[in-house]
Chains A and B, each alone.
Chain A
Amino acid sequence: MSWTGNRTAILLLKLSPLMLPFLVLFCGGVFLTVCQSLGLFTPLPHTGGLVDAYAVILSDPSFFASAGFSFGVALASAAGSVAAATFLAYRVWQLPKKMAGAALVYKIPLILPHIAVAFVVLVFWSRSGILASLAHALGLIQSMQEFPNVLYSGWGVGMILAYTLKGTPFAMLLILALLVRFDVRQIQTAAMLGASKPRIFFAIVLPRLAPALHTSFIILFLYSFGAFDIPYILSESRPGMLSLHVFDLYFKHDLARRPEAMAILTLMFGFAVLFIIAYSRTVTRLENGVRKL
């Protein structure tokens, strides 16, 4: 037994409280999902070929419509959250000390569960909801049909609203953590040298925040791409979010269709991994390009 081998063993042992749940639960779960998508170890004996489930899914145009829609909703809500969070966090950071305490209200949506935020959006924005009633009471609209059809516009606006409401404070948390360590003298120097406010923001502040922006974007994007609770309340029927299709296939259809549900999950997992790789490569390339300049 070599000295390095011994050290690795000890390191692995020390990491085991982290590694074991990861390997057993996460890898085990992925392993079973992939197996069941191929028709192995399914609750009912699978009669078709290994890739039958994938063939069924990939030949269904509505799958691609749903995948594209899920992608769009995730992109819009993650980008919206990160943009709003950057703006708000910067403003909060600039607040005088006295008011900084009051600004902590931004954390409130963080403690609300996703499903509660979904209900908040539903209660406020539906045509028989609070805003519509208010508009009616103020005489802005004559009937509920005149209220903008926010929740059922076909663009997933309700879900994007809910995810943004939930994602913004999360991204703010990460961004503010970087901002508090930010040396304010850099800004003062830039201002003294005559830099405009937008220029200070884009040239000095934003590059410092980049790590937090990328991390929060990836987390929020992948979460809204695959999550189930907000779509369950706010999704429209068509094109539905992928997570809802999986839920229906898993819980509401014949057991013989279990491989299809698992195949969608496998594809979603594969997409998430590819997305992270592609995203981080692009970011690295862009940053290298900046440095060369």
Chain B
Amino acid sequence: MTLRWNLTCLLLILPIVFFNPFAQPARASGDPLPDTPFEQIREQARGTRVNWYMYGGWAHVNAWVDTFVAKEMKQRYDIDLKRVPMDAGVFVNKLLNEKAAEKKTGTIDLLWINGENFKNAKQAGLLFGPFAGRLPNVQQYVDPGSISHDFGFPVEGYEAPFGRAQFVFEYDTARTGTPPDTVAALKEWIMAHPGQFTYPQPPDFTGSAFVRHILYAVSGGHDPYMDGWDPDLYEKNAPLLWDWLNQIKPFLWQKGRTYPRDSAFLDTLFARGEVALGMSYHPPHAQNMIIEGSYPDTVRTFALKDGSIFNTHFTAIPFNAPNKAGAMVLADFLVSVDAQISKFQPENWGDFPVLDMNRLTLSDRQRFEAVDLGPATLTPEQLAKTAVPEIPAPYLEALEQDWKTHVLDR
């Protein structure tokens, strides 16, 4: 009897020991590289392997990383690059579990991250840093003001810039005449073309961004929101947004009863002709789809005059990265002129550079100017004219939650 009781106890306690949820959170793992000169970090990283966890849903981006980046990292720094496809929300959760289990040596060296995922990771102490300010290419080419905040959340050097994205709409010139160019005109257009428009349902990244455009447009632009979270302001302005979205609802695809789950779903609807307008947070997306053969050659993009939201995406290093030196070398290489130009070419990716063009040499600037973006992508000048910054993350979270109550469930 006693033995059986003991065994039962043991078996019941085992999971607790295994998961050890009662343990105190890990101390910040010892910083292996305090103020080491970057040359020495490069030396330290030579002959090592870097595991880069990144969103894997874009074949052309994967190909660019596996070929150009991997080859250059090997040649320049003798570093083996291993790309691991994983959604940002998933690797943040993986790191949370590792942190809870006090796993001091993880498997991830570098993350591709921004926005809420960065905020979540930084608040939970999952990131190593600050390191961005120590990267030579960041020091030399990047305007610090342009990377001080990520969705209104202070970056403080815990992530290094990687690329820039801006929101555009897509349409097929062969099917649709002149597309609407303001938010007001968009509403008229939607009502005149029932069933031809929809947006991915928040919290999808793209759909959520679409909703923020409307918020800016119906409540006097982005300025009021830039000072951080103000509940009164939100309470005052959000109803204007819900009104707008509910007014177009009966004219949406499937009469607004259902929405595409993510932007890939919307892309499919657009490609198959079920809807007439597409949208993307990546200006070269349509051109990429044309090159890939998914969209017809006649697809073009446009931005609304009321403003089109841009953001910067970043790379960051986990607290328990086994190869922090290698991760820093890779993060630095990604900000180099060569990498940024290669990334800018639409046949590779078309992602916009994060470099401050005024800090470049004339010849480097000309290399950027010489890149042919393709007919479907707007030029950086066209995009810059309408560019407005992202909203601070607390607004974003509130909008995503309340959209469900005030639009979807209404």
Contacts and interface: CB of A to CB of B under 8 A. Distances in A.
B408 A238 contact: yes
Contact of A20 (B3, B14, B116, B405): B14
Interface string A187-220: 0000000000000000000000000000000000
B89 A252 contact: yes
B12 A8 contact: no
Contacts of A43: 96, 99-100, 124
Interface stretch (A26-34, A98-106, A267-275, A278-286): A26-34
Contact of A251 (B93, B123, B195): B93
B123 A23 contact: no
A20 B7 CA distance: 12
A5 B274 contact: no
Contacts of B4: 5, 8-9, 12
A250 B1 CA distance: 43
B87 A237 contact: no
A94 B14 CA distance: 52
B89 A255 contact: no
Contacts of B18: 24, 28
B273 interface: yes
Looking at chain A's contact residues, is the secondary structure mostly helix, strand, loop, or mixed?
helix
B362 interface: no
A248 interface: yes
Looking at chain B's contact residues, is the secondary structure mostly helix, strand, loop, or mixed?
helix
The contact size tier of chain B is 35 or more
B259 interface: yes
Interface in A29-62: 31-32, 35, 40-41, 43-44, 61-62
A253 B401 contact: yes
B82 interface: no
The contact size tier of chain A is 35 or more
Contact of B21 (A27, A41, A61, A145): A41
B213 to A, nearest CB: 19
Nearest to B97: A43
A8 to B, nearest CB: 5
B257 A238 contact: yes
A253 B100 contact: no
B397 A254 contact: yes
A253 B404 CA distance: 13
B15 interface: yes
A128 interface: yes
Interface in B230-282: 254, 257-259, 261, 269, 272-274
Nearest to B205: A252
B176 interface: no
5 contacts: A24-B15, A24-B18, A40-B21, A43-B96, A128-B272
A229 B58 CA distance: 20
A237 B274 CA distance: 18
A125 B21 CA distance: 47
A2 interface: yes
Contacts of A24: 14-15, 18
Interface string B1-36: 111100100011011101101000000000000000
A145 B195 contact: yes
A145 B408 CA distance: 23
